[in-house]
Chains A and B, each alone.
Chain A
Amino acid sequence: MGILDFLRNRREPPAAMAKERLRIIVAQERAHRGGPDYLPLMRNELLAVIRKYVHVDLDAIDIHLERDGEHDVLELSVALPEGKGGE
Chain B
Amino acid sequence: MIYELRKRGTSAMNIRSQNSSVATELPQAIARMSVEDATRLSRRSILKTGAAGLALGVYLARGGKAFAQQPPAASINITPNTFLIIGSDNTVTVLCKHIEMGQGPFTGMATLVAEELDADWSQMRADHAPSNPGLYKNLAFGVQGTGGSTAIANSFEQMRKVGASARAMLVSAAAAEWNVPAEEITVENGVIRHSSGKEGRFGEFAAKANQQPLPENPKLKDPSQFKLIGKEGVVKRLDSAAKSNGSAVYTMDINEPDMLTVLIARSPRFGGTVASFDASATKAIPGVVDVKQVPMGVAVYAKGFWAARKGREALKVTWDDSKAEKRGTGQLLSEFRMLSNTPGKVVKEEGAVDAEFAKGGGRIVEAEFVFPYLAHAAMEPLNSYLKWDGEKVVSRFGSQFPTPDMAVMAQVLGVKPENIDLKTILAGGSFGRRAQQTTHIAFELASVAKAIGPGPGVKVVWTREDDMRGGYYRPFALHRMRGLVRDKKIVAWTDTIVSQSIMKGSPFEAMTMKNGLDATVYEGSNEIPYDVENFRCDLHQVEIGVPVLWWRSVGHTHTGYAVEAFVDELLEAAGIDAVEGRLALMSKKPRHAGVLKAVAELSDWKNAKLAPGRARGIAVVESFNTFVAQVVELSMTDDGPKVHKVWCAVDCGVAVNPDIIRAQMEGGIGFGLGHILYADIPLEDGRPVSGNFDTYRSLRINEMPEIEVTIVQSTEKPTGVGEPGVPPIGPAVANALAKLGLKRPRQLPMVPGASV
A binds B: no
